[in-house]
Amino acid sequence: MNDDDHGDDRRWLDDPRNVTRVVYGLVVLCVLAFAADLFYEKHPHFGFEGWFGFYAVYGFVGSVGLVLSAKWLRRFLRRDEDHYERAERDADE
């Protein structure tokens, strides 16, 4: 056993290079999915659904909207770090 391996419990995503690879891989997959919009026939119900990349842009905007609304909602729903410990301590008294 190597001394360097002993006690090292790092995971593969702890290495920043691997995180960068995952991000670039996701970007490539998104670009391919966006480009795939050229290769099938659309049957839109509304006219704007036939625009190139409409569903990719719609999904991206929807996801960003969910994240931003969750950050805004967090201001109202946040609890103190010791919220449950304090409630348990008050119940014991």
pLDDT at 5: 55
Domain parsing of the chain, residue ranges: 12-92
- Mean per-residue pLDDT over the chain, rounded: 86
Residues in contact with 30: Cβ distance below 8 Å, sequence separation at least 6, in sequence order: 56
Nearest to 30 by CA among 56, 65, 63, 67: 56
Q: What is the pTM of this model?
A: 0.61
Tell whether the model's pLDDT for residue 27 goes beyond 70.
yes
Contact 54, 48 (CB under 8 A): yes
Question: What pLDDT, in 10s, does the model give residues 41-76?
Answer: 889 999 999 999 898 899 999 999 999 999 999 988
Compute the radius of gyration of the chain from its Cα atoms. 23
H or E segment at 43?
A: none
Tell whether the model's pLDDT for residue 6 goes beyond 70.
no
